């Protein structure tokens, strides 16, 4: 095979929480991990209790839990502060009749209130639904409607994007930082918090009770509500220990927003279950700002994404020289393929090996990873987490030998596996169509040493800057534009973003192609759906290739784009 596989960035003498990989795998049992949690004996389960209150009860209340900063705020919260703050919001939720199983969404930029709200929702047994702040009207409405959300936490700036008249189930909107609210259904979050008690008995749950819904995209249909339960804490705690390698005195920074699963599993749960100081930086990406965040907080463990590393690489090593990044001990990446070149650059520029990790919204936690103390093969996602069995299988379910390409599959179950797709059993079952296996939708191969190598998506899902975009959602929005008759959307390879969104559009009668029209269509999607889902490239076509049943053939669009053979066209319309 290719040369890459012979290249290894060898282990520097590192002490890790994992120890010897093969030995860890051989000795592993989830029952042992469970023993860390008191619910193992008491039966009283609640993620927010384990992540926050428990540290207070065990005498670690004064320890710094959150170091928050953005352009306007610079704040520090202890575990006790987070415990009391989330109790306050829990009490507010109870006052408004919100209880176990209710879906409560959060739609706001990163801020301490976002984290306190999320923990408060979990404390009363609610199911939290974090939404990325860039979502526009349609995207927000689809998600609130599908989940049947009864309440929402948001800010005055984002409030106009909520189509309240079309969401009859949405009873209460808690507005953060908005002063007194006059309208029916709007609640002044700050006033309520100030008046609420800071003590609360959490709702005691079972490990299988609902905790979170993250919406994510597939290649067909509306976004899918991936439903996670409290039991996921086993995976978050364990991988926090052995993959993030978190230790008592670490200062950990995960750059992801809680609107995406990395921002909850590894931006909230893994660090706090391990009792570690967590850095949250609000605002947008800039190399200077990011390096400054590491320096100012003396970050030791840093979890980010390939697009960010590529942008930092583009900013150059001169920038790095202005910052003291020597506190860094462990650096990790997730979300899209991590180029070997970036791993090599990181080794030189940061004197850190960048550890790639593979997992998905649906898996709830890390599954295939590079570990501290293990040889890294640049370009490989690494090896399965102890306790996880991964394999390459064909469509019939046969396990394939090393170097065969096929479906990347995981033996079911594992603690953080999604438990359903909200309102859509058929979609859920598609992932488990081969008995005993979860089919990821990624294709990969394994080498003879058990390292996994990502090859691509099997479906049409687009990964742009690590954000997963379903072509169907974009196509649906495009079709709402008055000039658009047909639309097909694909991912076009891009050196920095991995892929960008490209739309092929056939116009309605009476419309002529023009740059103005392209700009208008781009703006239409950006303002209706979200900036990251808007097509950076639009190409007008007379007609789009369709199957006889009228389905746009994205595979043909992709072949056009990449100058590849179009393959079997026997099902094409004419
Ligand atoms: C898809 C899942 C869960 C973290 C954020 C992404 C791609 C993820 C890697 C990696 C190559 C990766 C896969 C996967 N992906 N990590 N290390 N190397 N590709 O979660 O939005 O659910 O996307 O992201 O294609 O299926 P997501």
Indicate whether residue 359 lines ligand 1 (CB < 6 A): yes
Cβ-count burial of 147 within 10 angstroms (0-12 exposed, 13-18 middle, 19+ buried)? buried
Q: From CA 484, how far away is CA 477, in angstroms rounded?
A: 10
- Ligand 1 pocket mutation, candidates 463, 465, 469, 491, criterion most atoms within 8 A of CB: 463
Q: How far is the CA of 177 from the centre of ligand 1 (A)?
A: 34
> For the residues of 387-437, what is the DSSP string, one character each?
T--EEEE-TT-PBPPTT--EEEEEES--TT---EETT-HHHHHHHT-STTE
Q: Where are the alpha helices (DSSP H) in 448-499?
A: 471-479
- Ligand 1 pocket mutation, candidates 132, 360, 371, 442, criterion most atoms within 8 A of CB: 360
Q: How far is the CA of 338 from the centre of ligand 1 (A)?
A: 10
Q: How far is the CA of 448 from the centre of ligand 1 (A)?
A: 23
The residue nearest atom 2 of ligand 1, judged by CA position, is 360
User: For residues 64 and 279, is the Cβ–Cβ distance under 8 A?
Assistant: no
The residue nearest atom 20 of ligand 1, judged by CA position, is 360
Cβ-count burial of 335 within 10 angstroms (0-12 exposed, 13-18 middle, 19+ buried)? buried
Q: How far is the CA of 98 from the centre of ligand 1 (A)?
A: 34
Closest of 544, 540, 525, 539 to residue 474, by C-alpha: 525
Give the 3-state DSSP-derived string for 310-372, with helices as H, strands as E and coil as C. HHHHHHCHHHHHCCCCCCCCEEEEECCCCCHHHHHHHHHHCCCCEEEEECCHHHCCCCEECCC
Indicate whether residue 499 lines ligand 1 (CB < 6 A): no
Atom in ligand 1 nearest the alpha carbon of residue 440: 26
Indicate whether residue 90 lines ligand 1 (CB < 6 A): no
* Cα 456 to chain centroid, rounded: 18
Residue 257 structure tokens: 């927003």
Tell me what pLDDT residue 574 has: 54
Q: From CA 235, how far away is CA 481, in angstroms rounded?
A: 44
Give Rg (Cα) of the chain: 24
The residue nearest atom 14 of ligand 1, judged by CA position, is 360
Indicate whether residue 334 lines ligand 1 (CB < 6 A): yes
Tell me what pLDDT residue 573 has: 61
pLDDT tens string, the chain, 574 residues long: the values are 444 456 888 766 567 999 999 999 999 999 999 999 989 899 999 999 999 999 999 999 999 999 999 999 999 999 999 999 999 999 999 999 999 999 999 999 999 999 999 999 999 999 999 999 999 999 999 999 999 999 999 999 999 999 999 999 999 999 999 877 788 999 999 999 999 999 999 999 999 999 999 999 887 788 999 999 999 999 999 999 999 999 999 999 999 999 999 999 999 999 999 999 999 999 999 999 999 999 999 999 999 999 999 999 999 999 999 999 999 999 999 999 999 999 999 999 999 999 999 999 999 999 999 999 899 999 999 999 999 999 999 999 999 999 999 999 999 999 999 999 999 999 999 999 999 999 999 999 999 999 999 999 998 899 999 889 989 889 989 999 999 999 999 999 999 999 999 999 999 999 999 999 999 999 999 999 999 999 999 999 999 998 777 788 898 999 999 988 877 666 666 5
Q: How far is the CA of 474 from the centre of ligand 1 (A)?
A: 20
Q: From CA 570, how far away is CA 573, in angstroms rounded?
A: 9
3-state SS, residue 374: coil
Tell me what pLDDT residue 568 has: 66
User: For residues 249 and 500, is the Cβ–Cβ distance under 8 A?
Assistant: no
Please indicate, yes or no, whether the overall pTM of this predicted structure exceeds 0.90. Answer: yes
Atom in ligand 1 nearest the alpha carbon of residue 361: 22
- Ligand 1 pocket mutation, candidates 265, 468, 491, 497, criterion most atoms within 8 A of CB: 468
- Give the model confidence (pLDDT) of 62-112 as tens digits: 999 999 999 999 999 999 999 999 999 999 999 999 999 999 999 999 999
Identify the bridge partners of residue 241 per DSSP, sorted by sequence position: none
Q: From CA 424, how far away is CA 456, in angstroms rounded?
A: 26
Indicate whether residue 438 lines ligand 1 (CB < 6 A): no
Q: How far is the CA of 263 from the centre of ligand 1 (A)?
A: 13
The residue nearest atom 23 of ligand 1, judged by CA position, is 360
3-state SS, residue 172: strand
The residue nearest atom 11 of ligand 1, judged by CA position, is 337
Q: How far is the CA of 440 from the centre of ligand 1 (A)?
A: 10
Expressed in angstroms, the distance from the first to the final Cα of the chain is 40
Go through 47-66 and write b for each residue having 16 or more CB atoms within 10 A of its CB, e for each that does not.
bbbbbbbbbbeeeebeebbb
Tell me what pLDDT residue 2 has: 45
- Ligand 1 pocket mutation, candidates 336, 366, 390, 452, criterion most atoms within 8 A of CB: 336
Q: From CA 293, how far away is CA 40, in angstroms rounded?
A: 38
Atom in ligand 1 nearest the alpha carbon of residue 461: 25
3-state SS, residue 293: helix
Q: How far is the CA of 435 from the centre of ligand 1 (A)?
A: 23
Beta-carbon contacts of residue 565 (< 8 Å; ≥ 6 apart)? 559
The residue nearest atom 8 of ligand 1, judged by CA position, is 335
Tell me what pLDDT residue 572 has: 64
Question: How far is CA 502 from each of CA 295, 533, 536, rounded to the nearest angstrom?
Answer: 38, 10, 6
Beta-carbon contacts of residue 456 (< 8 Å; ≥ 6 apart)? 442, 443
Beta-carbon contacts of residue 296 (< 8 Å; ≥ 6 apart)? 69
User: For residues 119 and 86, is the Cβ–Cβ distance under 8 A?
Assistant: yes
Q: How far is the CA of 530 from the centre of ligand 1 (A)?
A: 20
The residue nearest atom 1 of ligand 1, judged by CA position, is 360
Indicate whether residue 462 lines ligand 1 (CB < 6 A): no
The residue nearest atom 12 of ligand 1, judged by CA position, is 336
3-state SS, residue 298: coil
Tell me what pLDDT residue 571 has: 60
The residue nearest atom 16 of ligand 1, judged by CA position, is 335
Atom in ligand 1 nearest the alpha carbon of residue 262: 4
Indicate whether residue 457 lines ligand 1 (CB < 6 A): yes
């Amino acid at each position: 095979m290719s040369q890459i596989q012979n290249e290894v960035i060898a282990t520097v003498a590192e002490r890790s929480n994992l120890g010897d990989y093969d030995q860890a795998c051989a000795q592993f049992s989830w029952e042992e991990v469970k023993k860390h949690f008191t619910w193992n004996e008491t039966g009283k389960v609640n993620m927010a209790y384990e992540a926050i209150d428990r540290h207070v009860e065990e005498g670690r209340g004064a320890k710094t839990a959150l170091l928050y900063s953005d352009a306007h705020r610079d704040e520090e919260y202890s575990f006790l502060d987070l415990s009391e703050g989330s109790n306050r919001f829990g009490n507010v939720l109870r006052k408004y009749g919100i209880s176990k199983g209710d879906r409560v969404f959060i739609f706001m930029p990163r801020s301490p209130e976002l984290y306190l709200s999320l923990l408060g929702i979990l404390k009363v047994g609610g199911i939290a639904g974090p939404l990325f702040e860039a979502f526009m009207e349609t995207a927000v409405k689809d998600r609130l409607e599908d989940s049947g959300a009864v309440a929402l936490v948001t800010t005055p700036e984002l409030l106009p994007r909520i189509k309240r008249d079309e969401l009859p189930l949405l009873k209460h909107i808690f507005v953060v930082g908005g002063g007194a609210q006059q309208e029916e259904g709007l609640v002044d979050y700050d006033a309520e918090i100030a008046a609420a008690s800071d003590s609360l008995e959490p709702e005691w749950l079972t490990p299988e009770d609902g905790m979170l819904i993250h919406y994510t995209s597939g290649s067909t249909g509306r976004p899918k509500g991936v439903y996670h339960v409290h039991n996921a804490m086993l995976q978050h705690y364990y991988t926090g220990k052995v993959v993030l390698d978190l230790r008592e005195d670490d200062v950990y920074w995960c750059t992801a927003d809680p609107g995406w699963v990395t921002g909850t599993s590894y931006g909230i749960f893994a660090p706090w279950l391990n009792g570690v100081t967590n850095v949250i930086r609000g605002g947008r990406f800039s190399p200077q700002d990011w390096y400054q965040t590491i320096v100012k907080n003396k970050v030791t463990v840093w979890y980010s994404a390939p697009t960010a590393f590529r942008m930092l690489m583009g900013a150059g090593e001169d920038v790095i020289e202005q910052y003291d990044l020597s506190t860094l001990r462990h650096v990790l990446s997730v979300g899209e393929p991590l180029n070997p070149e970036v791993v090599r650059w990181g080794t030189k520029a940061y004197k850190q090996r960048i550890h790639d990790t593979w997992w998905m919204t649906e898996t709830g936690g890390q599954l295939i990873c590079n570990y501290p103390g293990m040889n890294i093969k640049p370009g490989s996602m690494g090896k399965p987490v102890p306790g996880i069995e991964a394999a390459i299988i064909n469509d019939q379910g046969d396990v394939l030998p090393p170097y065969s390409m096929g479906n990347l599959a995981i033996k079911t179950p594992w603690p953080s596996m999604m438990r359903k797709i909200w309102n859509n059993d058929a979609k859920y079952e598609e992932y488990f169509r081969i008995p005993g296996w979860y089919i990821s939708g990624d294709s990969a191969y394994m080498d003879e040493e058990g390292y996994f190598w990502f090859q691509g998506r099997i479906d049409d899902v687009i990964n742009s800057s690590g954000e997963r975009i379903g072509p169907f959602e974009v196509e649906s929005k495009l079709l709402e534009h008055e000039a658009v008759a047909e639309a097909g959307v694909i991912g076009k390879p891009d050196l920095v973003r991995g892929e960008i969104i490209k739309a092929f559009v056939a116009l309605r009668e009476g419309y002529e192609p023009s740059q103005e029209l392209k700009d208008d269509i781009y703006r239409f999607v950006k303002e209706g759906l979200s900036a990251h889902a808007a097509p950076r490239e639009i190409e007008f076509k007379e007609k789009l290739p369709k199957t006889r049943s009228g389905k746009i053939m994205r595979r043909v669009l992709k072949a056009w784009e990449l100058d590849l053979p179009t393959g079997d066209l026997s099902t094409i319309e004419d």
